[in-house]
Amino acid sequence: MKRLAQFEPKQDEINQFGSAVFIAAEKRGGLFKPEKYLAEHPVAFPFLLDEKRVVTKSYGVYHALGTDGINIARPATFVIRRDGIIDYIYVGENQRDRAEMPELIQRLRHAASLSA
């Protein structure tokens, strides 16, 4: 959830290339209390709680059991062009491994240029 805060300062830059949707494989009343966090730290981007892991399973980033968690999704970033083609995928090796912001902005720019 705290990862969302890193995107807020880049909101205008991200929005110029399209839009962003954040998905968390968490339960509303789960350990990290996502609803409480979002109420205290509003974000400008749409947000989906994937409580039943439907989205994370369909994109292949769900894992039932790992050394860093049970019934969770690997941190992942997808850049999907307006035509529905996935242009970029980053899947973290562990819960702390995330796509770097400069790389993500570059990938968004590239996808936007192909969708224009």
Of the options 3.30.450.90, 3.40.920.10, 1.20.1250.20, 3.40.30.10, the CATH number for the domain spanning 3-115: 3.40.30.10
Q: Do residues 25 and 62 touch, judged by C-beta distance below 8 A?
A: yes
pLDDT at 1 over 80: no
The per-residue pLDDT of the chain, averaged, comes to 86
Q: How confident is the model at residue 32 (pLDDT cuts 50, 70, 90)?
A: confident
- Evaluated on CA atoms 79, 100, 1, 41, the torsion sign reads negative
Alpha carbons 13 and 75: distance in angstroms, whole number: 22
pLDDT at 84 over 80: yes
